[in-house]
């Protein structure tokens, strides 16, 4: 009975009703909390899935695939600011508005310009956010009945608007709008990060393209002589930056050494704190080397840029100009000597000939006068050959007898070879055909080959021999004229055979050679359509062959 009274009193006072309402409210709150947590979890998952290197279309696609788990959605779009103009950038499903500017009469423009969020439900009786103009309003074209528009902000700056839409009536309310706003805040950060990443990536690509476009080798070297980066334009074998750090040393990669170079320019840059310039040689190449310090934000040098510029051809041309100047001087001297000597030589030869005519044939003095006349004539011939060789400015080609060029060269340098106790022998083919060539340049090549043979015999004990031979041969369906110079000197090491034609490569002392002779000689041979061949064996000797085509000149004027 007592319990029944209490129950009646509770019903009359509304206690049971209040409890029911309370429990229902708690249940609704829990459901809302679950929804919000689920939405926050979806936002968190989306942010994890979005990468900074994704395109805006990919970002919208990723969000659209997850969004239905949090709210009803049949449309998702992004309109971003570009050049002070709001432009539709991405949308799912796609439409014809992508890439088009948003009219200022659009609700999208209102949300952007006034920095406000808008709920737009088409069937509401309340006054719409703004009047729709179907011919200009993108939202009207999308067939949406409910639209939520939220601004995208980064550091108090509006970068665009996020549009979420559905074809149902009154789909979105304040709760959905709050979630969309939270989503927009995270998306704005992702979009800004992606934009910054693209700018940085573009700048990086431009600098890398610029770095690689420089035709000269460039290296970045740290304090421990490690090559950190290069532009893949190294002359020769490029450094492999995948090798262990301890083997990436610049002195090993660039100069093929096992220890830092003496007076290392890299160390000098770190010590002086400023750039330096040096001219270096490596494998017969000459480089202008520029070293520049790389300074960090604290003013400390953390690396050195090495810029190598191959100036081999430039230095070679300069050396040739100097050589040409010397030849000009020799020519002038030879002309002066010839002028001064021709008159007395003419008197000596003429007087000897007159005395010889007055002597009987059996007079012993007749033979003495023959010697005087022949030696005088030989002196005049030597002077004439010296004059001819010194005229290097005349580079026209003509029909040339190679044997005659060999004889002229031997008359000039025979003494230099004989005084070293070297036996020089000739094996000239008398039927050798003429070729189209520049005689003075051929003489220059032959002289170089003979003098190199002489130098190779300096340290050779016993009999020293040089054999110069001319002959013809047929190769690759072409006829060739060959001048061969063979010696029994020290020979050339196999690893050096590929280097001997490099400019400035020489095994001689600095005072005896510049390393240009064979390089220039090969250039002359190639300009005539030929080449220079070499065979050598250490301790046995070397054979050099000047090979020239028998056909008409293929090199033209040089």
Q: What local confidence, expressed as pLDDT, does residue 125 receive?
A: 41
Backbone angles phi, psi at 477, to 5 degrees: 60, 25
How many angstroms separate the CA atoms of 289 and 272, rounded?
Answer: 17
| Nearest residue to 485 via CA among 507, 508, 461, 517 | 517
Q: What local confidence, expressed as pLDDT, does residue 351 receive?
A: 86
Lowest mean pLDDT among 493-502, 518-527, 536-545: 493-502
Same domain membership, residue 282 and residue 155: no
The 8-class DSSP code of residue 505 comes to -
Which of 168, 199, 230 terminates a domain? The answer is 199
Q: Residue 379 — pLDDT band, cuts 50, 70, 90?
A: confident
How many angstroms separate the CA atoms of 269 and 254, rounded?
Answer: 18
Q: Which two tokens stand for residue 374?
A: 């022949």
In this predicted structure, the answer to whether residue 246 has a pLDDT above a threshold of 50 is: no
Find the domain containing 281 and state its range. 216-312
Q: Residue 256 — pLDDT band, cuts 50, 70, 90?
A: confident
Which CATH number does the domain housing residue 220 bear? Answer: 3.30.450.20
Q: Is residue 7 assigned to a domain?
A: no
Asked if 328 and 394 touch (Cβ cutoff 8 Å), the reply is no
Lowest mean pLDDT among 83-97, 120-134, 174-188, 301-315: 120-134
More confident residue, 89 or 485: 485
CA 352 to the chain's CA centroid: 72
Q: Is residue 439 assigned to a domain?
A: yes
Q: Mind listing the pLDDT tens digit for each residue in 176-192?
A: 788 788 778 878 887 78
Q: Residue 105 — pLDDT band, cuts 50, 70, 90?
A: confident
How many angstroms separate the CA atoms of 364 and 199, rounded?
Answer: 103
Q: Is residue 360 assigned to a domain?
A: no
Q: Mean pLDDT, to the nearest integer, of 213-226?
A: 81
Which CATH number does the domain housing residue 456 bear? Answer: 3.30.565.10
Residue 162: count of CB within 10 angstroms of its CB: 26
Q: What local confidence, expressed as pLDDT, does residue 543 receive?
A: 92
Q: Residue 511 — pLDDT band, cuts 50, 70, 90?
A: very low
Q: Mean pLDDT, to the nearest integer, of 412-427?
A: 81
Same domain membership, residue 102 and residue 152: yes
| Nearest residue to 282 via CA among 248, 257, 305, 314 | 257
| Nearest residue to 458 via CA among 406, 508, 496, 415 | 508
In this predicted structure, the answer to whether residue 70 has a pLDDT above a threshold of 80 is: no
Same domain membership, residue 431 and residue 514: yes
Asked if 517 and 316 touch (Cβ cutoff 8 Å), the reply is no
Same domain membership, residue 189 and residue 247: no
Same domain membership, residue 195 and residue 220: no
Angle between helices 402-418 and 439-456 (to 10 degrees): 30
Residue 312: count of CB within 10 angstroms of its CB: 17
Which of 151, 171, 199 terminates a domain? The answer is 199
Q: Which two tokens stand for residue 57?
A: 């279309």
In this predicted structure, the answer to whether residue 303 has a pLDDT above a threshold of 80 is: yes
Q: Pairing between strand 531-537 and 464-475?
A: unpaired
Domains in the chain, number = 3
Task: Determine if the pTM surpasses 0.85.
Answer: no
Q: What local confidence, expressed as pLDDT, does residue 367 receive?
A: 80
In this predicted structure, the answer to whether residue 556 has a pLDDT above a threshold of 50 is: no
More confident residue, 45 or 143: 143
Q: Residue 100 — pLDDT band, cuts 50, 70, 90?
A: confident
Q: Residue 250 — pLDDT band, cuts 50, 70, 90?
A: confident
Q: Is residue 296 assigned to a domain?
A: yes
In this predicted structure, the answer to whether residue 401 has a pLDDT above a threshold of 80 is: yes
Which of 312, 337, 353 terminates a domain? The answer is 312
Lowest mean pLDDT among 160-169, 380-389, 452-461, 504-513: 504-513
In this predicted structure, the answer to whether residue 201 has a pLDDT above a threshold of 70 is: yes
Same domain membership, residue 151 and residue 106: yes
In this predicted structure, the answer to whether residue 553 has a pLDDT above a threshold of 50 is: no
Q: What local confidence, expressed as pLDDT, does residue 322 receive?
A: 72
Average pLDDT, the chain: 76
Q: Residue 467 — pLDDT band, cuts 50, 70, 90?
A: very high
In this predicted structure, the answer to whether residue 440 has a pLDDT above a threshold of 50 is: yes
Q: What local confidence, expressed as pLDDT, does residue 28 receive?
A: 61
Q: Mean pLDDT, to the nearest integer, of 288-294?
A: 88
Same domain membership, residue 301 and residue 449: no
Q: Pairing between strand 464-475 and 85-92?
A: unpaired
Q: Mean pLDDT, to the nearest integer, of 222-237?
A: 73
More confident residue, 472 or 176: 472
Q: Is residue 419 assigned to a domain?
A: yes
Asked if 43 and 128 touch (Cβ cutoff 8 Å), the reply is no
Asked if 290 and 304 touch (Cβ cutoff 8 Å), the reply is no
Same domain membership, residue 249 and residue 175: no
Q: What local confidence, expressed as pLDDT, does residue 278 receive?
A: 85
What percentage of residues in the chain have a pLDDT greater than 70?
Answer: 74
Q: What local confidence, expressed as pLDDT, does residue 199 receive?
A: 80
Which CATH number does the domain housing residue 70 bear? Answer: 3.30.450.40
In this predicted structure, the answer to whether residue 402 has a pLDDT above a threshold of 50 is: yes
CA 197 to the chain's CA centroid: 27
CA 442 to the chain's CA centroid: 38
Long-range contacts of 195-202 (CB under 8 A, 24+ apart): 197/52, 197/53, 201/53
More confident residue, 151 or 380: 151
How many angstroms separate the CA atoms of 321 and 323, rounded?
Answer: 5
Q: Is residue 248 assigned to a domain?
A: yes
Q: Is residue 116 assigned to a domain?
A: yes
Same domain membership, residue 191 and residue 78: yes
Q: Mean pLDDT, to the nearest integer, of 248-276?
A: 81
Q: Residue 510 — pLDDT band, cuts 50, 70, 90?
A: very low
Q: Mean pLDDT, to the nearest integer, of 149-168?
A: 83
Same domain membership, residue 272 and residue 414: no
More confident residue, 236 or 248: 248
Q: Mind listing the pLDDT tens digit for each residue in 20-42?
A: 565 666 666 665 566 566 666 66
Q: What local confidence, expressed as pLDDT, does residue 469 receive?
A: 93
Q: What local confidence, expressed as pLDDT, does residue 545 receive?
A: 93
Same domain membership, residue 290 and residue 253: yes
In this predicted structure, the answer to whether residue 19 has a pLDDT above a threshold of 80 is: no
Q: Is residue 161 assigned to a domain?
A: yes
Q: Is 98 exposed, middle or buried (0-12, 13-18, 19+ CB in 10 A)?
A: middle
Same domain membership, residue 107 and residue 75: yes
More confident residue, 398 or 243: 398
């Amino acid at each position: 009975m007592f319990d029944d009274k209490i129950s009646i009193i509770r019903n009359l006072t509304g206690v049971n009703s209040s409890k029911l309402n309370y429990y229902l409210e708690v249940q609704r709150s829990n459901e809302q909390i679950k929804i919000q947590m689920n939405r926050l979890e979806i936002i968190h998952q989306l942010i994890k899935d979005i990468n900074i290197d994704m395109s805006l279309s990919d970002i919208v696609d990723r969000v659209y695939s997850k969004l239905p788990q949090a709210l009803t959605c049949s449309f998702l779009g992004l309109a971003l600011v570009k050049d002070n103009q709001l432009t539709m950038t991405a949308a799912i499903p796609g439409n014809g508005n992508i890439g088009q500017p948003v009219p200022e009469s659009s609700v999208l423009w209102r949300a952007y310009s006034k920095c406000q969020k808008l709920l737009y439900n088409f069937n509401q009786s309340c006054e719409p956010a703004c009047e729709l103009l179907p011919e200009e309003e993108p939202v009207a074209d999308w067939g949406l009945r409910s639209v939520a528009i939220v601004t995208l902000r980064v550091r108090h700056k509006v970068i665009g608007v996020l549009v979420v839409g559905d074809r149902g009536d009154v789909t979105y309310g304040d709760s959905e709008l709050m979630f969309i706003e939270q989503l927009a805040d995270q998306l704005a950060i992702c979009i800004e990060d992606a934009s910054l990443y693209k700018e940085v990536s573009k700048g990086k690509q431009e600098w890398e393209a610029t770095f690689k476009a420089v035709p000269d080798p460039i290296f970045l070297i740290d304090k421990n002589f490690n090559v950190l980066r290069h532009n893949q334009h190294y002359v020769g074998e490029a450094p492999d930056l995948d090798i262990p750090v301890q083997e990436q040393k610049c002195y090993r990669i660039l100069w093929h050494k096992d220890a830092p170079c003496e007076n290392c320019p890299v160390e000098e840059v770190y010590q002086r704190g400023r750039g330096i310039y040096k001219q270096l040689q490596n494998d017969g190449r000459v480089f202008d080397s520029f070293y520049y310090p790389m300074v960090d934000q604290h003013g400390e040098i953390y690396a050195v840029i090495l810029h190598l510029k191959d100036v081999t051809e430039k230095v070679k041309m300069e050396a040739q100009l100097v050589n040409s100047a010397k030849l000009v001087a020799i020519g002038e001297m030879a002309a002066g000597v010839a002028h001064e000597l021709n008159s007395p030589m003419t008197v000596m030869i003429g007087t000897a000939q007159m005395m010889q005519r007055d002597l009987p044939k059996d007079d012993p003095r007749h033979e003495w006068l023959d010697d005087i006349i022949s030696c005088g004539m030989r002196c005049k011939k030597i002077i004439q050959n010296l004059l001819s060789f010194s005229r290097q400015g005349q580079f026209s080609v003509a029909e040339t007898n190679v044997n005659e060029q060999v004889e002229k060269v031997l008359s000039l340098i025979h003494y230099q070879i004989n005084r070293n106790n070297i036996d020089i022998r000739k094996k000239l083919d008398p039927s050798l055909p003429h070729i189209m060539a520049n005689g003075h340049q051929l003489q220059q090549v032959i002289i170089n080959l003979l003098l190199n043979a002489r130098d190779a015999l300096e340290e050779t004990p016993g009999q020293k021999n040089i054999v110069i031979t001319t002959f013809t041969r047929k190769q690759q369906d072409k006829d060739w004229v060959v001048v061969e110079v063979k010696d029994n000197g020290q020979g050339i090491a196999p690893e050096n055979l590929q280097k001997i034609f490099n400019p400035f490569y020489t095994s001689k002392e600095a005072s005896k050679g510049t390393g240009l002779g064979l390089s220039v000689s090969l250039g002359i041979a190639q300009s005539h359509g030929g080449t220079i061949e070499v065979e050598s064996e250490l301790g046995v000797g070397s054979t050099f062959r000047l090979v020239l085509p028998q056909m008409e000149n293929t090199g033209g004027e040089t």
